[in-house]
Amino acid sequence: MTALVIGGAGYVGSHVVHALLDRGEPVVVVDDLSSGHRETVPAAAHFVQADMADSVRMARVCAEHAVDAALCFAGKIEVGESVKDPRRHWRTNVGGTVALLEGLLDARVPHFVFSSTAAVYGTPEVVPIPDDATERPTNPYGATKLAVERMLGAYADAYPLAYTALRYFNAAGADPARGLGERHDPETHLIPNAIRAALGLRGPLEVFGDDWPTPDGTCVRDYVHVSDLADAHVLALAALRRGECPRAMNLGSTAGSSVNEVIGTVEHLSGKVVPRRYVARRPGDPAVLVAASARATTALGWQPSRSTLDRIVGDALAWHANPLAR
Ligand code: UFG
């Protein structure tokens, strides 16, 4: 049994690769290195530089390594970019995943774990958002992830494929002891941007709106530690292999933090001021996204034990002390 990790040189994928290897799982990483980092792939994993849309190559890699499960992290993730330039999100997230599934089905890979997102819900009717809330994405990023989930549902009904879509809320934090952290180019996410502003590695943080209908006027998000997300993938893979995994699950901490609270935590833990300016709202942002992750708790026994804001920001700060983070 070998796990194929597509996008395994990226932020969440690299943490999952390490978590799988920790449990003795043979791992093959596929990454085109368009945004991933080769040096995060440990020597214990076999590395293939390839595009997931190359279905023939994907089928061959699966056959060569006796792959029984694929986990897909590859894709475009920036909400703002998805609004301004949606075709790249549709091409990569939908087109790329459709092609990947061609290869996986041809190779008869029976298990698939898909990185989905809270963005499938759009503006929630109920907070915390339950696992069975109505999906109404408000931006193309969320729409592309929901489209893939729908495709997977049809495929699993028709073909010998069991899958789960893990709907991440805000992946954050790092594993500084392993040199793993969040390194996007350009970086659009709040916590690394706030840290970089505090350390003088960028200009002032832009806070996107202080007139939201939230207690302090800034957006509220559910930050979940990336190592907790990695645990959930390992548990989901085991559940799929047992034949008892739900098709979609939220992965969040059930706690919401505002942008101002995140900034306060960065300032407190770093002892530095986060220079900032308040600007207009970012198109596509909902005011509040907080998860109820009941299904992951019940079906997987998942507990996001590291997902406090102090632990997340503390680990991210420690990662930023690493020269690789610069
Ligand atoms: N924000 C700022 N300034 C920044 C960056 C972000 O004010 O420089 C604000 C955003 O407006 C938002 C919050 O900080 O209110 C968090 O923004 P992020 O860009 O860090 O994260 P998002 O909530 O936009 O998106 C992330 C992932 C998505 C996922 C979503 C689910 O990138 O893939 O979480 O909650 F869908």
CATH number at 62 reads: 3.40.50.720
The predicted model gives 12-21 an average pLDDT of 98
Of 208, 235, 251, the position where a domain reaches its end is 251
User: Best substitution site from 73, 116, 170 to test ligand 1's pocket, by max atoms within 8 Å of Cβ?
Assistant: 170
Report CA(309)–ligand 1 centroid distance (Å): 15
**Same domain, residue pair 43 and 188:** no
**Same domain, residue pair 285 and 198:** yes
Give the pairing type, strands 257-258 and 220-221. antiparallel
3-state class (DSSP) for residue 253? coil
Report CA(189)–ligand 1 centroid distance (Å): 5
Torsion sign across C-alpha atoms 96, 101, 103, 104 = positive
**Same domain, residue pair 159 and 14:** yes
Residue 322's pLDDT is what? 79
**Same domain, residue pair 279 and 135:** no
- Domain range for 100: 2-123+130-172+223-251
**Same domain, residue pair 87 and 136:** yes
Which tens digit of pLDDT belongs to each residue from 88-104?
Answer: 999 999 999 999 999 99
* Residues forming the active site: 141
Q: Which residues pair with 248 in a beta bridge?
A: 165
* Ligand 1, residues at Cβ distance < 6 Å: 77, 79, 117-119, 169-170, 188-190, 193, 205-208, 219, 221, 259, 282, 285, 289
**Same domain, residue pair 111 and 197:** no
**Same domain, residue pair 193 and 269:** yes
Of 203, 236, 251, the position where a domain reaches its end is 251
The CATH number that applies at residue 318 is 3.90.25.10
User: Best substitution site from 145, 212, 259, 309 to test ligand 1's pocket, by max atoms within 8 Å of Cβ?
Assistant: 259
3-state class (DSSP) for residue 223? strand
Q: Return the residue matching tokens 């590695």.
A: 201
Q: Each residue of 64-95: b (16+ CB within 10 Å) or e?
A: ebebbbbbbbbbbbbbebbbeebeebbebbbe
**Same domain, residue pair 140 and 196:** no
The predicted model gives 112-135 an average pLDDT of 96
Question: Which pTM was predicted?
Answer: 0.97
**Same domain, residue pair 47 and 165:** yes
Is pLDDT above 70 for 323? no
The predicted model gives 209-229 an average pLDDT of 98
Report CA(181)–ligand 1 centroid distance (Å): 17
**Do the beta carbons of residue 225 and residue 306 sit within 8 Å?**
yes
Residue 283's pLDDT is what? 82
* Residue of 115, 221, 232, 225 lying closest to 174 (CA atoms): 225
Which tens digit of pLDDT belongs to each residue from 151-205?
Answer: 999 999 999 999 999 999 999 999 999 999 998 888 999 999 999 999 999 999 9
Between helix 97-106 and helix 140-158 the angle, nearest 10°, is 20
Of 199, 231, 251, the position where a domain reaches its end is 251
Is pLDDT above 70 for 324? no
> How many domains is the chain partitioned into structurally?
2
**Same domain, residue pair 292 and 187:** yes
**Same domain, residue pair 75 and 155:** yes
**Same domain, residue pair 90 and 193:** no
What's the one-letter identity of residue 53? A
